[in-house]
Amino acid sequence: MKKHNPILNGPYLIWSAAFIVIPLLVIVYYGLTDKNGIFTFENIIKMGTPENLKALLLALLLSLIATAVCLVMAYPLALILVKMKTLATGFIVTIFIIPMWMNSLLRILAWQTLLERNGVINQMLGFLHLPKLYLINTPYAIALGMIYDFLPFMLLPIYNALEKIDPNVVNASYDLGANRFQTFWRVIFPLTMPGVISGITMVFVPALTTFVISDILGGSKVLLIGNVIEQQFTLVGNWNVGSGLSLVLMVFILISVAVMQHYDKETGAGLVI
């Protein structure tokens, strides 16, 4: 193997120091000190207050629901896409990717317009002389926004994993006597576990930390942990508490990623049944 010139690593090292390591250290510093720069666990313990705990648990619950719904929707869709002819597949995959190119804020605002008290859906219900629904500013609206926003991140890794499976591996399963159901659960699904895992991670982590979706679709009525942290920085102006809560959230994310990777190594055997 050719040894790389260490100087070539320079830009990368500088880049990661400037944009990853130093900001992280700053957050740790703020999180573990008070306004006077004195070491304290006060900011961490703030997560234990009833309203913060409620926001954290709600965020966990909603992002779990959103992740589960995304998985249940994306997997069958990916299966259909892989079975389809190439031309049509490209078209449909593009349709799913195009929204990702649009500003996420814009997409969520579109949902706001749809779900509002006098929004498109309620107006249509009015035409039909049906009672209006409370859609906006509910946890359901937030979950819906998450699912809509993050579905492509679940679809693409699963689609890629499915596409990589050698058709003869599936044929081998039939050849050895397995029916369609057995072939799916014993061969196809376990082989796509890496895609499922990265899909879950890519939906769960941003959903857990979001404050934009909950801001727009939850109003000020439903607070997620992301909103609490955001408010500490923007409204309260207490960077120390905001950083402390961020550190706690980071621990939750690290745990979930570690759990996911554990299942990935076992190629899903433990997760499936």
Partner 1 sequence: MDSKLIDLQHITKSFDGELVLDDLNLYIRENEFLTLLGPSGCGKTTTLRILGGFETPDSGRVIFDGADITNLAPNKRQLNTVFQKYALFTHMTIAENIAFGLRIRKKSAQYIKDKISYALKLVNLDGYEDRMPDSLSGGQQQRIAIARAIVNEPKVLLLDEPLGALDLKLRQDMQYELIRLKNELGITFIYVTHDQEEALTMSDTIVVMNQGYIQQIGTPEDIYNEPENAFVADFIGDSNIIDATMIQDELVEILGVKFACVDKGFGTNNPVDVVIRPEDLELMSVPDDISTDSEAYEKLLRRVHKFNAGYLEGVVEHVIFKGVHYEMEVLSRGYEWLVHSTRMFRVGEKVLMTVDPFNIQIMNKPESEDEQAVQMNEM
- In the complex, the residues that contact partner 1 under the rule CB under 8 A are 166, 168-169, 171-179, 182, 186-187, 190-191, 193, 267-268
Minimum distance between the CB of residue 190 and partner 1, rounded to whole angstroms?
5
**Tokens in use for 16?**
């990661």
Task: Give the CA radius of gyration of the chain.
Answer: 23
- The phi and psi torsions of 176 (rounded to 5 degrees) equal -85, 10
Residue closer to partner 1 by CB (options 251, 272) is 272
Minimum distance between the CB of residue 166 and partner 1, rounded to whole angstroms?
6
Minimum distance between the CB of residue 176 and partner 1, rounded to whole angstroms?
4
- Return d(Cα 196, Cα 15) in angstroms, integer: 31
Minimum distance between the CB of residue 161 and partner 1, rounded to whole angstroms?
11
Minimum distance between the CB of residue 269 and partner 1, rounded to whole angstroms?
8
Residue closer to partner 1 by CB (options 106, 273) is 273
Answer for the pair 54, 270: CB distance below 8 angstroms, yes or no. no
Residue closer to partner 1 by CB (options 82, 248) is 82
**Tokens in use for 24?**
């992280």
Residue closer to partner 1 by CB (options 184, 233) is 184
Residue closer to partner 1 by CB (options 198, 209) is 198
- The phi and psi torsions of 35 (rounded to 5 degrees) equal -60, -25
Hey, what long-range contacts does 117-121 have (CB within 8 A, 24 or more apart)?
A: none
